[in-house]
Structure 1
């Protein structure tokens, strides 16, 4: 009986996917046919990578574009933002892990539509296998660009795609020197041709900053964690730090914001930490950062988290594990604090640094001002836009 039910479910899913494919052919593929730039992205949920992807879409907002989303998003918080600048298609509703026939039909149809579009300039992607499966089917005259946020500890399937696509891709964007070194090490490991090395370019993440804005004064000490509840982010470490600091000074407030935390709300509340939920709009996010003194990044793996430039732009001092490319922008006791990623002592390191800072107001003021000023010199959205327009449209800039 169970086998019969399983087969019935599989058949129903097949019919649903087949119907979705025909619907795509009739109603959705024209969006690709009208586009000058096609984006293939995984999610429109709340997240740092999604903010970067949205900024890239905005960089070519004067061009007709279409975004194919390949994965089910945990939330739809950025869906409206993406829709404001581009047509969107949720092909995740058609793709199926158990239906290679439908997946193959969809892939071939998308490739054919892309290749027949005379106005199409480029195809861009990040963090999705579908792009690399599609890439061999895309004609050579079309510019193809991918973005790698981080490669250390990456999904091995994606790493294999990076190597296999190194010849076919027009340009490969990485976000910092660490990611650049990591991809070249993998090229060397797998004996990729030297000509492919020149295709790798660095475009650092950026944010829109109001240069007329003044540094905001804080009342009291508030320490924040912004992100998703995931293994690599180690949010439970933030709760441990909160517990230890509260033993020393009960006036210090701790607050968390992000996704995937509701299932852990009991643990958060028992730690005396306030939970704000997801923050989706820029105005509310900036107001939140303005209320913080420090933001903690406790991750054991990162590329370069967007919360660092976002927080620094409001004068928040980042206190972070020294992982990924974070040390390329954070100089310890100059514009933030770096913590050695030592599992045995990491909580104590965070606690000791925070206690040192709350007892040295002059140092806090110095770090806050330096972070504020640094953000304005190094996270310029205009430079970001020009570099992506060069990669996607082959525009020249001075």
Structure 2
């Protein structure tokens, strides 16, 4: 079975890197942590992103607890770094050691350092891995008594990276039904023992619900929020705007993903980090658009629905569980041709009347209040971290 071979490979690698890990353990004994921590959070980045937004919310769920947050990959910017700050939180960026391929031995040494810091805490801490490669490699070096929890946002490269390390995790958090099903299929295909499926917990992301949801003076019909990476197919949003004769707004560093001949139909707001400015931009639009080829369940749909925006999206991931045609938005097949997606999206934008959007607005605000609250999100994570 593939899973067994992956475990053997991990065991051999552990033997080969042992001298570096033990050097790290000695360094940690020489330079121990100066404080005691209840929780260790391992995240890759603090630049702008949906995953980073979720991580920052998790980091603020435990008032009264001492938390050490370690960032292990070089971030593109510091836009969201402040979002991780809270009373009791200590933030350390160790990426210059853990994310340098030319000095990779530092990554191995830091596994020993981090493992010893955690193991020597007087009270048993909780270790949380937010889809962080370093934390997976670290997990095997921690004592069995340390409770480890992982969060995986979607079915991606980490779905394979994590397989040799899942025995070390007490709980696996996933955010969408589609992601759970795809991981279960992977488990069966690779021969992962059936018991590990029982460790998976579905915990949907939550968002701070806005108190004021009144629409502002309309600037643009369509709004896209997110990255400009290939799977997002941002150019389709611009093409829909052009075909429908409207302007689309874009929050995020996406201008390079839009062909020049479509930019006349776009308004680029760039990366935004101030909650008040983001809220205002949402409320100046009427439809949130997602054209991805793959998704989990985007937080931007939650944020848009909470402010009354209708949804125009491909039916990827868990989006169909929350968006109903002609009730709170409209879905188009994510595997359809780009030409058909553009045509269908443009037709809908032209057909939607103010009364239709007003009805969808009320439906979405009500739905968001019922399903996307931070209270439900916080209760689920606190229950995982500190069982009664």
Length-normalised TM-score, structure 1:
0.85
| 2:125 is the alignment partner of 1:106 | no
Does structure 1 retain, via aligned residues, the 8 Å contact 2:237–2:248?
A: no
Displacement after TM superposition at 1:173 (Å): 0.2
Displacement after TM superposition at 1:213 (Å): 3.4
Does structure 1 retain, via aligned residues, the 8 Å contact 2:43–2:69?
A: yes
Partner of 1:284: 277
Partner of 1:141: 145
Length-normalised TM-score, structure 2:
0.87
Partner of 2:21: none
Q: CA separation in 2, counterparts of 1:56 and 1:294?
A: 28
| 2:324 is the alignment partner of 1:331 | yes
Q: Deviations over 1:224-271 (max 9, x none)?
A: 11111110111111121122112xxxxx33211102x35468828743
| 2:249 is the alignment partner of 1:255 | yes
Unmatched 5+ stretches in structure 2: 1-23
Q: Deviations over 1:371-397 (max 9, x none)?
A: 111000000111110110111122x4x
Q: CA separation in 2, counterparts of 1:365 and 1:27?
A: 64
Displacement after TM superposition at 1:292 (Å): 0.7
Q: Secondary structure at the match of 2:230?
A: coil
Unmatched 5+ stretches in structure 1: 1-20, 247-251
Deviation larger for 220-229 or 320-329: 220-229
Q: Deviations over 1:258-315 (max 9, x none)?
A: 02x3546882874331111111021111111111101111111111111011111110
When residues 283 and 362 of structure 1 are mapped into structure 2, their CA distance, relative to the original with a 3 A threshold, is same
When residues 167 and 356 of structure 1 are mapped into structure 2, their CA distance, relative to the original with a 3 A threshold, is same
Matched residue count: 360
Partner of 1:124: 128
Q: CA separation in 1, counterparts of 2:292 and 2:130?
A: 21
Does structure 1 retain, via aligned residues, the 8 Å contact 2:236–2:291?
A: yes
Displacement after TM superposition at 1:26 (Å): 10
When residues 253 and 167 of structure 1 are mapped into structure 2, their CA distance, relative to the original with a 3 A threshold, is same
Does structure 2 retain, via aligned residues, the 8 Å contact 1:176–1:202?
A: yes
Q: Deviations over 1:20-60 (max 9, x none)?
A: x99x96999626x5221011101111111111111111112
Q: CA separation in 2, counterparts of 1:178 and 1:266?
A: 32
When residues 62 and 338 of structure 1 are mapped into structure 2, their CA distance, relative to the original with a 3 A threshold, is farther
Aligned counterpart for 1:377 among listed residues 363, 370, 375: 370
Over the residues paired in the alignment, what is the CA RMSD in angstroms? Answer: 2.3
| 2:353 is the alignment partner of 1:349 | no
| 2:359 is the alignment partner of 1:361 | no
Does structure 1 retain, via aligned residues, the 8 Å contact 2:213–2:306?
A: no
